[in-house]
Amino acid sequence: MTTTYPRYEGDGAGVFLANQVESLRKLGHDVKVIAPEFDGDTCGELQAGVIRVKFRPRAARKITYGSGIWPNLRKNPLLFFAMPGFLKSFERTIQREFGDRDIIEALFTSAGKALIKARRPGQAIVYAGHGSDIHLLERSAYYRRYFYNMIRKYDAVTVVSRHLASNVTSHFADISPIEVPNAVPDEAFEYERRWRDEPAAIYASRLIALKRIDMLVSGWASVVSHFPAAKLIVFGDGPLLQKCKAICRDKRIENNVEFRGLVSQKELWEEIGQGWLTVLPSMKEGFPMPLVESLACGCPFLSAPCGAAPEIAKETGGGIIIDEPLTPEKIAKSIIEIFKNKESLEKMKKNGRNEVLMIYSSREIALQKIGIYEMALNNLNNYHEND
């Protein structure tokens, strides 16, 4: 059960979940997905086994997709009035569609009450934390109480990184999340390419303040002063697009920075496979998929110490972490030093790709998930209906 899932071929929304579902099916498991309807959808099953929630009121459609539930609610507080209907719509769909399921996995905390109401005897429920829900624990005492009241009723709690696990346990000592990272789609490993002749860095995420893309673009002028033909290729969209373009004009690096917008996953991997470096200067992440996908495509990374990035760098040997606080100059200096040592980059490429294949493959992560589901079913005796 999720609030984000691919809506059409090539859509990036929840693509990591679609990969997880496909991996479980390959191992012989019957998987249904409940995901929100969206504007333009016929509300039919766009993919096999995907049930689109029909919202009442219709305004509840605007709660999901885009930036995510909590950012969408902050942007338009009137959507809070649609939340009861939003949750009730999920509850009705769970009751109608999930009666034959052994396990129900929820990927957003706000589903807790609806899920607990709708569960049937013998069903185990699992929470999977991916980032935004857990980051909110630091910001709201009300949300912490809500989170705890919901999460303690689950039969298993998982998160995608040690960073998120420590965040949860720092607030709730009696909850011990199990780390299960996201998997890299098998297809990504097919996109290793010959690197471009001239240095090229890739950014692939939303263009928002949290990601500090403007800081990266600003620092690129220094990179160009050392490598005049160096390219920064930016994938994604967001409110900082025009600001970043203005920075390029002011620093006269329009020919060195390309804004490609939103592209299909395959187009993105094709470009990453030819890049020298993926850069992620983000302030916060859960499990940054662009980093492991980059390694799978044969491209090392440079990242801020956000979310699971330090874990990925340490486990794979394919990434470098820049210490906070970040500045445009500090980012540029790190990139310049990396570009000057192509031999080291080649070593990072080889190590990173090999380790990602071993640690984050779809089959490996699917087997970990199955182990969690079996444990959750064994934990059913801990569930009390009147909790």
Domain positions in the chain: 15-183+363-382, 186-360
pLDDT for the residue 70: 74
| C-alpha angle 250-256-262 in degrees, rounded to nearest 5 | 100
Residues 308, 286 contacting (CB under 8 angstroms): yes
d(CA 343, CA 320): 15
Judge whether 15-183+363-382 and 186-360 match in fold: yes
pLDDT for the residue 311: 95
Detail the DSSP E strand segments found in 30-119: 33-36, 50-53, 103-106
pLDDT for the residue 69: 78
d(CA 329, CA 221): 10
CATH number of the domain at 15-183+363-382, please?
3.40.50.2000
Query: Is residue 100 classed exposed, middle or buried when 0-12, 13-18 and 19+ CB atoms within 10 A define those classes?
Result: exposed
Cα 15 to Cα 21, 22, 239: the distances in Å are 10, 11, 22
CATH number of the domain at 186-360, please?
3.40.50.2000
What are the residue ranges in the chain where pLDDT is below 70? 10, 39-48, 67, 110, 381-387
pLDDT for the residue 46: 47
Predicted structure pTM score: 0.84
